[in-house]
Structure 1
Amino acid sequence: MTLRLAFMGTPDFSVSVLAELIAAGHEIVAVYSQPPRKAGRGMAEQPSPVHRFAAEHGIAVRTPVSLKSEEEQKAFADLDLDVAVVVAYGLLLPKPVLEAPRLGCLNLHASLLPRWRGAAPIQRAIMAGDAETGVMVMQMEAGLDTGPVLLAEHVAIASDTTAGSLHDRLSEIGALLMVRALAALERGQLQATPQPEEGVTYAKKIEKEEARIDWTRDAAALDCHIRGLTPFPGAFFEVMRDGKPVRIKVLRERPVAGSGAPGEVLSLEGGITIACGSAALHIAELQRAGKGPMKAGDFLRGFPLAVGERLV
């Protein structure tokens, strides 16, 4: 038995879920995604990753700017859905949309709710130093990620986990979890567990100013912060050259022993060791603005730093 459904998603994270639903044989009558955005050097309008994937598989794609109008809500209701699957769509679903599918709307969220409700759960979990996170399928309701949990998978956050690696892992696990959830939904065997009232945190959108490295912070905290921003938007510091700041992203590092003024270059042996507010960071891979990623040794050959130099 298959379900008649609509898929609602936008970024790369959502694509693997859509792919698994197609492979499972569900009848996907429409895909909803954010409207094309201008991007690239020519600033041409580019469809979202979900939009492109759906179009390649011959699925009708709808890209409304909003779902608040009666016209859009009627068009959604006319799809006569069993269920809607929502994965990082980016638009709020009004009550008429939530209530239109016969079995409601299921959302895949990349955290262990109620921790990290909101826009950036993957990054915030790493930045906060959490030991684990996960993915959850929940029944959607009007609140922001407040619905009851239907299925969950826990995932450990290792000392070298980055937002990029965790994103890919949770996307794969979440895709399989959603397929399981729909199979159980068909059988009437999904059990809804209300989220606890305690432990609620919000994963606010990553702001540009957060990407600058504050060397006065503890090295362990900076390690989490940097990994949570890797690869995008990328945590950075600046070095003054010819009276101008040169921006440099840190791609791979680890906390080490060391002391000095925050931002001071302590050593250039086997990498670049920088003093923090407490302890130090040993940087193994960097990326200068306009250049590709480089190991620290290669970077220093083209952009020398000096022991005792201060980074900002």
Structure 2
Amino acid sequence: MGTSSFALPSLKALHEHFQVVGVITQPDKPAKRGLRLTPPPVKVSALELNLKVHQPATKSQVRDILLELKPDCVVVVAYGKILTKEILQIPPYGCINLHASLLPKYRGASPIQRCLMAGEKLTGNTVILMDEGMDTGDILSAEGLPVEEDDNFVSLSEKLSTRGAKLLVDTLKRWFAGEIKPIPQAHQEATYAPPILKEEYRICWKAPATSVKDRIRGLYPDCYTFLEGGERIKILKVKVCEEGGEPGEVIHEKKLQVACGEGSVEILELINPKGKKVSGEDFMRGYRPKKLL
């Protein structure tokens, strides 16, 4: 059971090492400007692997599909829906979930984004035996991964999804062989990663420069700000600088260096109002902004 591209390495690894009797993913949804119905990445990949795909719209439909398929185990990776107790009890080996954090930290929908936004230096993957809670199940295995200074949401997702697929296969083999004793999570240490809100993508220049940088990394490539004329630009990459000024003020003549609540950031890469990816210095030569809003 999976939906987003994060689940693709796991799907391929499961197909290689086990018999996948079916793939459950979310229904096709309207996407982009034309609002054309678009299949989720897991559906596309599963069909390429000649696997049977199911797209139930309700929890009762999920239950009925599983009762028909009679799987030994259900593996859940970035599916995006909570499973009921009734569903969890169907497979003899339980429902196993790969989660992109070191649980109990960053339970919820956006663990990779929230980890980067918080400036964490370490993250990882956890494989759990699912229960009715949100990422609260007993731990079967976990593996840490350092967060590099240049990591953003895309690069860290790729690393975690690739490594997570291997961890998942290794864990399942040991789980089926009876070699793993599930370990309860330390619930008192739990932190949460709620879904990203639309307003979080807009940069607040009153925040400290390190916080601005971490937000841009975590929400890459969709963080944005406005020029004084109202045009919107997306900020892709910045570096933190010590010089300060009025928040939002451009404080260098040639470099696109913007003052924050503490310090400043030099914008190294951005998407200009015409939708083109440019360097900060090239942007300054063409636009010469005085302030970003």
Identify whether the pair has TM-score above 0.5, normalized to the shorter chain: yes
Whose strand proportion is higher, 1 or 2? Answer: 1
Number of the residue aligned with 1:310: 291
Specify the code of the residue in structure 1 equivalent to 2:80.
Answer: G
Kept in 1, the 8 Å contact 2:93–2:176? The answer is no
Identical pairs, percent:
39
Larger CA deviation: 41-50 vs 8-17: 41-50
Specify the code of the residue in structure 1 equivalent to 2:41.
Answer: P
Work out the CA distance in 2 between the residues paired with 1:127 and 1:61: 35
Number of the residue aligned with 1:240: 228
Number of the residue aligned with 2:7: 14
Q: Unmatched 5+ residue regions in structure 2?
A: none
Number of the residue aligned with 1:253: 238
Residues 1:287 and 2:271 are matched in the alignment: yes
Work out the CA distance in 1 between the residues paired with 2:278 and 2:272: 8
Rate the CA distance shift 1:121–1:172 in 2: closer, same or farther, 3 A.
same
Work out the CA distance in 1 between the residues paired with 2:286 and 2:5: 34
User: Where do 1:64-143 residues align within 5 Å?
Assistant: 64-67=56-59, 69=60, 72-143=62-133
Number of the residue aligned with 1:275: 259
Q: Deviations over 1:105-155 (max 9, x none)?
A: 000000011111000000000101111111010000000100011111101
Specify the code of the residue in structure 2 equivalent to 1:42.
Answer: G
Specify the code of the residue in structure 2 equivalent to 1:258.
Answer: E
Kept in 2, the 8 Å contact 1:31–1:60? The answer is yes
Work out the CA distance in 2 between the residues paired with 1:230 and 1:293: 13
Specify the code of the residue in structure 2 equivalent to 1:118.
Answer: G
Q: Deviations over 1:182-220 (max 9, x none)?
A: 111221112211100222111010011011111111111
Work out the CA distance in 2 between the residues paired with 1:289 and 1:157: 31
Work out the CA distance in 1 between the residues paired with 2:131 and 2:62: 19
Q: Structure 1 length normalisation: TM-score? A: 0.91
Over aligned residue pairs, what C-alpha RMSD do you find?
1.3
Q: Deviations over 1:39-93 (max 9, x none)?
A: 13432111100000001111111111121x2x54233122111100000101211
Larger CA deviation: 195-204 vs 104-113: 195-204
Q: Deviations over 1:233-292 (max 9, x none)?
A: x11110122xxx1111110101111011111101143x3111111111011101124413
Work out the CA distance in 2 between the residues paired with 1:240 and 1:279: 21
Q: Structure 2 length normalisation: TM-score? A: 0.96
User: Where do 1:36-55 residues align within 5 Å?
Assistant: 36-55=28-47
Specify the code of the residue in structure 2 equivalent to 1:213.
Answer: I
Rate the CA distance shift 1:86–1:298 in 2: closer, same or farther, 3 A.
same
Work out the CA distance in 2 between the residues paired with 1:290 and 1:49: 29
Number of the residue aligned with 1:4: none
Q: Which stretches of structure 1, 4 residues or more, deviate above 2 A after TM superposition?
A: 297-305
Kept in 1, the 8 Å contact 2:6–2:78? The answer is yes
Work out the CA distance in 2 between the residues paired with 1:249 and 1:206: 17
Q: Unmatched 5+ residue regions in structure 1?
A: 1-7
Work out the CA distance in 2 between the residues paired with 1:282 and 1:64: 47
Rate the CA distance shift 1:303–1:28 in 2: closer, same or farther, 3 A.
same
